[in-house]
Amino acid sequence: MNIELTDVTRTFGRNKAVDGVSLAAGPGVFGLLGPNGAGKTSLLRMLATVLPPSSGTVRLLDRDPGKPAARTEIRRRLGYLPQNLGYYPSFTVAEFVEYFALLKEMPAHQVPKAVAAAVERVDLGPRAKARLRTLSGGMLRRVGIAQAIVNGPDLLLLDEPTAGLDPEQRVAFRALIRDLGQHATVVVSTHLVEDVGTACSEVALMAEGKVVFRGTPGELAAQGEGHEVGDSPLERGYSAVLAASRKQVAA
Amino acid sequence: MTAVALTQRTARFRPARALRLEIKHSAVVWVLPVLAALFYFNAYRRAAGFPPTWTVRASVITGSNLIFFSVIAAGIAAWVATREGRRKTGDLLATTARAAWARQATVLAATAFWMVLAYLAGVAVIYLRTALQATWGGPPLWPVAVGVVGVAASCAVGFTCGTLFPGRFTAPVVAVTVFVAWFIGVAAANSVNNFTDVRNAKGTAALFVSTDGGRPQVDAGVYYRVPPDVSIAQVMFMGGVLLVMVGLLALLPAARVPGVRGLSFARRRWLTVVAAAGVACGVAASVTAFALAGTARFSAAAGWEIPALHDAADDQPVPYTLDCTGGTFTVCIHPAFEPYLGAMDAALQPAAAEIAGLPGAPVRADMITGAALPAVAGTTSVYDYSTEYEDYGGASFWATPAMARTADWEQGMQQGFITWFVSGPAEQDSASPTPAQEAVAIALLAKIGAPVPQYPQFSQPGTQSGTSSMSSGPGGSATQSTASAAQITAAARGLESLSPAARRAWLTANITALRSGAVTLTQLP
């Protein structure tokens, strides 16, 4: 398993952002759904080794990220696209991706080829020498994806990856993560259930810091039978699970 | 990529490639024009106005040049350090394998690279110009080392502050703080807010002054080597600061997980140990340098000396051969001032002609180190080149050789020369001519068109004639000791009104007595 979480909790002051989550995932595309404040980003940041858990155990790529040497090795094999991508405006597309390839400690001789391949995979080859300040929001998102995949990660964490992409790019992106999921574990945190339906082999739905549903997209859609909120089966399943979760919490 | 291939990955990070990117996109590039302008107005013009001797010119690079470079280096480094916060890249960077301290060290190195490069470019410009003008000696390298370490340390201080306190006001606050620290340091170095009075400064103040103390004597490093004592202490002190700051960067939790202070994962133990050792070494170096500087003492010949660091070989005079010109009256100066020889000769020949043939009149003037000469009150000494320069201040004084040949400069030389001669050995030692000597000097100077020297009673109306010479002079009297400017001027006019032959005859007959202080004002014709 590339991801193994056991009863993981993360608190910020008195706020419990992640509350006793246990998950395991191997290669494939794993969708992480949930409303705002459900704890998706906190969970993703723990998976990204940015945040240590307040309690519980985290194992990534068969290593304990709490140990410095293991954490470094995990980070070499990790790709991460945060929800709000920060960037340096004066860097070109290629330089930005190269910068992260270097920080991910890729073997130096592989860097130029890997950078070119990553930039091509997000369809930014013609803009490789463009400065980031000149790019649109959608293009910047693709740059973020390129830096995340440049090292051929075993664990790829994408927080709202399709935000700002046009429909054509979203289709291409889904194809890309399906391809990456052949060998790596891809975790996609998103609000867009259609991304999950077409790209993910497995999905988890979070609410109030807990995982309230885990299964295939088909199983999530099945939860929505008879539920009226939502335009698609997946949306109805999403709404139904959340509604049931809220009732349970209220009770 | 297969898992097998991935596990075979090794950390073959090439810092040079990352550094190249950081250098290319460094924010310092944007402030280079500002640095160039500040350098031109604050350092280059100042250095160009100094006489073309290496030590004097080099004092600028560890003085005003280092101060404004330090201020900007600290400010820009603090700004750069807040980049991850400003650009919101903290999370993204925190997931990379490269340790945060190494990443930040790369950014700091790129900032320091540009600042040091800019600083060295400024040094090169000053030294190149000096090389084209100097006639003796070579470029001192210790001041360059002090400047380089100082700029790098300033970058590290600013960067660490920016990392510790990320915020939009951090950079200006750091820059202002460094400026104030320099100002306080230099003021402390000079004991009072007098940048030229470094001789009164004590001990640790030496850390804040340039190689030989604030504005150096014009002949500093000419007759004696400037000992590197203070420079060594300065490099130690600032190198220690640099080490402490870099060590802190590796130790601070905030430096590893931006935005998540105190919540970082466990750190590598060896890094903690190495960083702590670096901080300890830095503190030790700075404290040692501070303590050493506390033992510094000012030597009139060569500037500041620190006994524990001092090499006695530096106390030996530097051999030289005088450059001379002139006929019956020969003017000789140190080869370092060879460009001034013509100006010096032109200034002294008319004065020498006025006293030529009189008993005791000099037939030759040799330039010697200013530190070896007593000053003559109210005048500039002919031989004391440094006093010449300091007393004049302003552009015409701190001038290139061509600019130095001004009426004021020439008249100052003549005043000093004539006053020195008529004062005689006793008054030269006491540094105060008698009223009669002053009157004769004024009369002689009037003949060559030089104005009345700034004797005390002339520069401060109401002041009476110098009393110290009166007690030593055999002809001293109450009347002589209380002579006013008007009385002296009247006596001078009397001598001046004589025919040249009569005046010459009187001088020939009385100059020996006058020089010994035996002639009173009332005995003048």
Q: Kindly report the three-state secondary structure assignment for every residue of B393-413.
A: CHHHHCCCHHHHCCHHHHHHH
Name the 3-class secondary structure at B378. coil
- Contact assignment for A152 to B6 by CB distance below 8 Å: yes
Q: Where does residue A36 rank: exposed (0-12), middle (13-18), buried (19+ CB within 10 A)? A: exposed
Kindly indicate the confidence band of residue B265, based on its pLDDT and cuts at 50, 70 and 90. Answer: low
The minimum CA-CA distance between A8 and chain B, rounded to whole Å, is 15
Q: Does residue B9 fall inside a structural domain?
A: no
pLDDT tens digits, A108-165: 889 999 999 999 999 999 999 999 999 998 899 999 999 999 999 999 999 988 888 8
Confidence label for B226 from pLDDT (cuts 50, 70 and 90): confident
- Select the residue of B2, B14, B91 nearest A45 (Cβ to Cβ): B91
Last residue of a domain, one of B277, B296, B315: B315
Of B3, B14, B89, the CB nearest to A102: B14
**Going by DSSP bridges, is the β-strand pair A28-33/A185-189 parallel, antiparallel, or unpaired?**
parallel
Asked if A75 lies within 8 A of B95 by C-beta distance, the reply is yes
Contact A111 B17 (CB under 8 A): yes
* Enclosing domain of residue B443: 323-523
pLDDT of residue B29: 94
Mean pLDDT, to the nearest integer, of A35-42?
91
What average pLDDT does the segment B370-385 reach? 45
Q: Please indicate whether residue B517 or residue B36 has the higher confidence score (pLDDT).
A: B36
* The two three-digit tokens of residue B453, written as one number: 């020297």
| pLDDT bracket for residue B507 (50, 70, 90) | very high
B257 shares a domain with B223: yes
Provide, as residue numbers in chain A, all residues whose Cβ is less than 8 Å from the Cβ of B260.
50-51
A171 belongs to a structural domain: no
Please indicate, yes or no, if residue A116 is contained in any of the structural domains: no
Interface contact B268-A80, CB threshold 8 A: no
- Give the least confident one: A230-244, B43-57, B71-85, B408-422: B408-422
CA distance B281 to B302: 31
Instruction: Confirm whether A217 is domain-assigned.
Output: yes
Enumerate residues 6+ apart whose C-beta is below 8 A from B293.
Answer: B203, B204, B205, B206, B207, B230, B233, B237, B306
Same domain, B368 and B223: no
Most confident of A133-147, A229-243, B305-319, B476-490: A133-147
User: Is any Cβ of chain B less than 8 angstroms from the Cβ of A72?
Assistant: yes
Minimal Cβ distance to B98: which of A67, A78, A105: A105
Residues 154-183 of A with CB under 8 A from B: 154, 183
Question: Looking at the structure, do residues B108 and B144 belong to the same domain, yes or no?
Answer: yes
Give residue B48's pLDDT: 81
CA distance A235 to chain B (A): 30
Q: What percent of chain B has pLDDT over 90?
A: 30
Q: What would the mean pLDDT of B21-26 be, rounded to a whole number?
A: 95
Examine residue B52 and state whether it is found in any structural domain, yes or no: yes
Summarised one tens digit per residue, pLDDT across range B102-147 is 888 999 999 999 999 999 999 999 999 999 989 999 999 999 999 9
- Domain hosting residue A14, numbered range: 1-77+186-251
Residue B49 pLDDT greater than 80, yes or no: no
User: Do B175 and B308 share a domain, yes or no?
Assistant: yes
* pLDDT of B212: 38
Contact list, B87 vs chain A (CB under 8 Å): 86-88
Contact state of B2 with A183 under an 8 Å Cβ cutoff: yes
Q: Are residues B259 and B357 in the same domain?
A: no
How far away is chain A from the Cα of B315, in angstroms, using its nearest Cα? 53
- Residues B374, B248, single domain; the answer is no
Residues of A in contact with B99 (CB under 8 A): 72
Inform me whether the pLDDT recorded for A26 exceeds 80: yes
For B95, which of A48, A85, A88 is closest by C-beta distance? A48
What per-residue confidence (pLDDT) applies to B217?
Answer: 66
Min distance B23 CA to chain A CA atoms (Å) = 12
The answer, for A227 touching chain B at a CB cutoff of 8 Å, is no
Q: How far apart are CA A201 and CA A183, in angstroms?
A: 13
The reported pLDDT for the residue numbered B312 is: 83
